[in-house]
Amino acid sequence: MSIRYLTASVAVTAIVVVTVWLTDLSFQRAALLAPVLVLGIAAAAGLAVFWGRVGWESLRTSRRPRVVLAASVAVVALLVLLTILGVKLPHE
């Protein structure tokens, strides 16, 4: 068995175990859903890399990168604070 297959099987097993731990799924059901879990995590990682690159490029080409970075951090901090405080925003 190559190290590549060993690494992949350990990663998939870890994904299944974490899914069982975070949700109320049984181990058998999580093992059956392993391909879906792997695809979902790969899609989320791909989106994170894509938007990370977009944000980095936008930050590099902006005239005032410190202002953009400060505004981004402020928005994220505000969202975290509102979530911690339990503020429910109105939905239409």
**Residue positions counted in the chain:** 92
14 falls within a domain: yes
Domain carrying residue 52: 3-85
Confidence of residue 87 (pLDDT cuts 50, 70, 90): confident
Whether 91 is in a domain gets the answer no
For residue 32, the number of C-alpha atoms closer than 13 Å in the C-beta half-sphere is 4
Structure tokens at 83: 């979530």
Q: Residue 82 to residues 29, 76, 89: CA-CA distances in angstroms?
A: 35, 10, 9
Number of neighbours of residue 16 by Cβ within 10 angstroms: 20
Give the residue-averaged pLDDT of 36-43. 95
| Residue 90, domain member (yes or no) | no
Token digits of residue 5: 């297959």
Is residue 50 included in any domain, yes or no?
A: yes
Please give the pLDDT value at position 27.
92
The answer to the question of residue 43 being in a domain is yes
Residue 64 counted as domain residue: yes
Share of the chain above pLDDT 90, in %: 79
> Where residue 76 falls among pLDDT bands split at 50, 70, 90?
very high
